[in-house]
Chains A and B, each alone.
Chain A
Amino acid sequence: MRTTAGSPPFVPAPAAGPGLRRVLVLKNLPNELRRLGAWVAAVSRENCLSLETAFRVDICLAEAVANVIEHGFPEGGAHEIRVTVDPRGKEAVLTVDDGGQAFDPLRSTPRAAETLDEVGIGGYGLRILRHFADSCRYDRREGRNILTMSVRAAAF
């Protein structure tokens, strides 16, 4: 099914067919989450992902990218966050790659609040991400954080 062999790494979106690995480069700005959401919806439609699979791809990427935008660059400045979706039939492989400060979202374990009085208003994203991804791997390579997630294709 995959036809990426021999393709240049940045195929313009309109020319690419279903099953191709897609790349999106975002800036470290909160507004970019809108662009991410629209892009994920388009990629899911192109690849005929089921409602559940599309939802899980959407939420894993939204939470991972939101976390990088919010915490990755405390010194500010303009930076790029690179997102890929690679639909492989039985699963979609997702990556989020950023040059922000080293952060392993799989090692951070936000404590679950037990009552409304003690709960903070944030800190949910990483728990959601780890719940909805079927597998997660974190690598730090050449000064970049690389988060790789997979989402199994669901039937509906």
Chain B
Amino acid sequence: MTIDSEKLAEGVTRICLRGRMDISGAEEIDVRFAGLVSAATSVIVDLSSVTFLASIGIRTLVANAKALRLRGGSMALFGPGPLVADVLRAAGIAEIIPVLESQGAAIEAVKTAGIVRA
């Protein structure tokens, strides 16, 4: 897997994940992901190039979303393909971390997270 990040306007950090988020993929990005999240408060995660997502990858997403929330920050996911979106729904993640179609909607979700739970 590969991971890269970009600071967008208004204090939002976009993290882009690419590849298979299975045991190998999660191991490849875990440290960097946690590092990026620890330096941010509002994080949107681009899943459009994630081709596979297993429960081990979901643990990475949830652990980082929880860490952010403990510090008063928030995370939203966006752009998953239909099969990855189906995994997120099956795992019940869509109810606890906002999953949006577009980057714009994800930015709105993290900006309003402190006021209204998305």
Contact = CB atoms under 8 A, between A and B. Distances in A.
Interface of A: 30-31, 33-34, 37, 51-52, 55, 58-59, 62-63, 66, 112-117, 119, 121-122, 124-125, 127-128, 131-132
Given A62-B54, A112-B95, 19 more contacts: A31-B23, A33-B23, A37-B22, A37-B23, A37-B24, A66-B55, A113-B96, A116-B97, A117-B66, A117-B69, A119-B66, A122-B55, A122-B59, A124-B92, A125-B55, A128-B55, A131-B89, A132-B86, A132-B90
A115 B96 contact: yes
B52 A124 contact: no
B62 interface: yes
A34 B24 contact: yes
A122 B62 CA distance: 9
A52 B83 CA distance: 7
A55 B66 CA distance: 28
A54 B78 CA distance: 23
B8 interface: no
Contacts of A128: 54-55, 87, 90-91
Contact of A58 (B52, B62, B93, B96): B52
Nearest to B65: A116
Given A116-B97, A127-B91, A66 B54 contact: yes
A63 B56 CA distance: 9
A120 to B, nearest CB: 8
A117 to B, nearest CB: 7
A8 B41 CA distance: 59
Contacts, number: 75
B75 to A, nearest CB: 9
Contacts of B95: 112-114
B91 A124 contact: yes
Contacts of B18: none
A33 B65 CA distance: 25
Contacts of B66: 116-117, 119, 121
Contacts of B55: 63, 66, 122, 124-125, 128
Interface string B72-89: 000000000001001101
B23 A34 contact: yes
A125 B58 CA distance: 9
Nearest to B61: A121
A141 B7 CA distance: 56
A128 to B, nearest CB: 5
B54 A131 contact: no
**What 6 pairs between A and B have smallest CB-CB spacing?**
A131-B90, A125-B55, A124-B91, A124-B55, A112-B92, A33-B23
